[in-house]
Amino acid sequence: MTTHRSVSSLGTSDDAIPNRDGRLAAARSILAELSSVSRPEREHSVNNEASNLVSLGIDDLDAHLAGGLKRTGVHEVFASAIGDETAATGFVAGLSACAMRDRPGPVLWIDTLFSAQEDGLLWPPGLADWGIAPDRLIRATARHPRDALRMADDALAMSALGVVVLELRGPAPMLDLTALRRLHLGAEARAVPCFLLRFGADPIASPALTRWSIAARPGFERRSGQGYLEKPNRYLLGHPRFGADLARHRGGSLGSWLLEWCSDVQSFVAPAAVAISEPAIPPVQHRPYRQTFAA
């Protein structure tokens, strides 16, 4: 993964942490220690704090998250604008794949009856490219958001699952602070991460560990897992790219990153520096839900 270290965060994270280098070094040393622990040992220490961290594949990002995304809790992922639902779906699929990489157990993906018509049917051949093998996917379709919430609740009562994804469209009044706390406590107790995928909704106060706002970003060059670059080409697509805004981070600072998903290594990677300076992109039209609905 060393080849991708050239990336840096785009947003405010540099200003937010004064002693960033020191913490980075500390986190790296923890990571080095972690990777030296052999796998069987790691599996036995389920409640060990370090094994409950999910590496997202980008050193910079992992370090910012103090070692990786915590398994023990709820993480919220919002589509940042209308049209970014699929990008948010991909981001959650990627997070799930990372979380399931060294843990057994399937992902339970809970959606509602109309999500197949609204956003398209969650497609197993596509998910396979995002690191979720078809034999590790269970899909639950709730008639009502309330049922979806109860399904997630039931699922988080046991530790057999690898990941629970709860996908809800629109404002969900039943998903209040109490319900969120319930989910969070379940996820915390079983060390099964719960990803809340929200479309067309505004965040509310929540006990979630992190909250991400995801937008699609134009990507250009194609490269292999080893970082080989091809010339930008109108007829070739690069790896899918996201703008990921960390809008809430319990016990940590915020930031924003440009990420790509590499299907070869089945992990997030940092885009190469060339892409950022690519001049041909007009500024992205950002349409937050709030403005759209207010108008």
Partner 1 sequence: MTLMAANAAARTLGIVPGLRLADARARVPDMAVFDHQPDADTKAMEAIADWCDRYTPLVARHGRHGLILDMTGALHLFGGEKGLLVDVRRRLGGMGFTVQAAIASHPATARAVARFGAGGSVPESDTETVVAQLPVEALGGRETVTGLRMAGLTTIGLVIAQPRHALAARFGKPLVDALDRLMDRADQPISPRRPVPDCIAERPFAEPMTNPDAIDQILAQLTGDICVRLEETGEGARHFEARFFRVDGAVRSAIVRTGQSLNDADVIMRLMRLRLEALGDKLDPGFGFDLIRLEAHGRSRLQPVAQSFLEAETREADVAALIDQLSIRYGATAITRPVGYNSHVPERAAAYVPAQGWRVEDAGHGAVMQTRFASEPPSRPIRLFDPPALVDVIAEVPDGPPLKFRFRRVLHEVIHAEGPERIAGEWWHEPDAATRDYFKVEDVEGRRFWLYRAGLYGDETDRPRWFMHGLFA
Site for partner 1 in 68-87 (CB under 8 A): 83-84, 86-87
Select from 97, 149, 161, 168 the one that contacts partner 1 (CB under 8 A).
161
The angle, 0 to 180 degrees and rounded to 10, between the axes of the packed helices 145-155 and 177-190 is: 30
Q: Report d(CA 152, CA 156) in Å as an integer.
A: 6
Contact status: 91 vs partner 1 (CB under 8 A): yes
Provide the token pair at 65.
């998250």
Contact status: 179 vs partner 1 (CB under 8 A): no
- Dihedral pair phi/psi, residue 34, rounded to 5°: -60, -50
Compute the least distance from the CB of residue 66 to partner 1, in Å: 27
Select from 223, 248, 249, 259 the one that contacts partner 1 (CB under 8 A).
223
Q: Report d(CA 292, CA 295) in Å as an integer.
A: 5
Place of tokens 């709030």: 290
Number of residues that bind partner 1 (CB under 8 A): 73
Q: Nearer Cβ to partner 1, position 159 or 253?
A: 159
Contact status: 57 vs partner 1 (CB under 8 A): no
Contact status: 143 vs partner 1 (CB under 8 A): yes
Contact status: 107 vs partner 1 (CB under 8 A): no
Compute the least distance from the CB of residue 36 to partner 1, in Å: 23
Interface segment toward partner 1; rule CB under 8 A; list 61-69, 143-151, 169-177, 203-211: 143-151
Q: Report d(CA 74, CA 206) in Å as an integer.
A: 9
Contact status: 155 vs partner 1 (CB under 8 A): yes
Residues 251-270 interacting with partner 1 (rule: CB under 8 A): 261, 263-264
Contact status: 199 vs partner 1 (CB under 8 A): no
Compute the least distance from the CB of residue 186 to partner 1, in Å: 13
Place of tokens 């809340």: 196
Contact status: 224 vs partner 1 (CB under 8 A): yes
Q: Report d(CA 65, CA 14) in Å as an integer.
A: 14
Compute the least distance from the CB of residue 22 to partner 1, in Å: 35
The number of C-alpha atoms within 13 Å of 221 and in the hemisphere containing its C-beta is 18
HEC-encoded secondary structure of 224-267: CCCCCCCCCCCCCCCCCEEEEEEEEECCCCCEEEEEEEECCCCE
Nearest partner of 2 among 227, 275, 267, 239, judged by Cα: 227
Residues 16-55 interacting with partner 1 (rule: CB under 8 A): 43
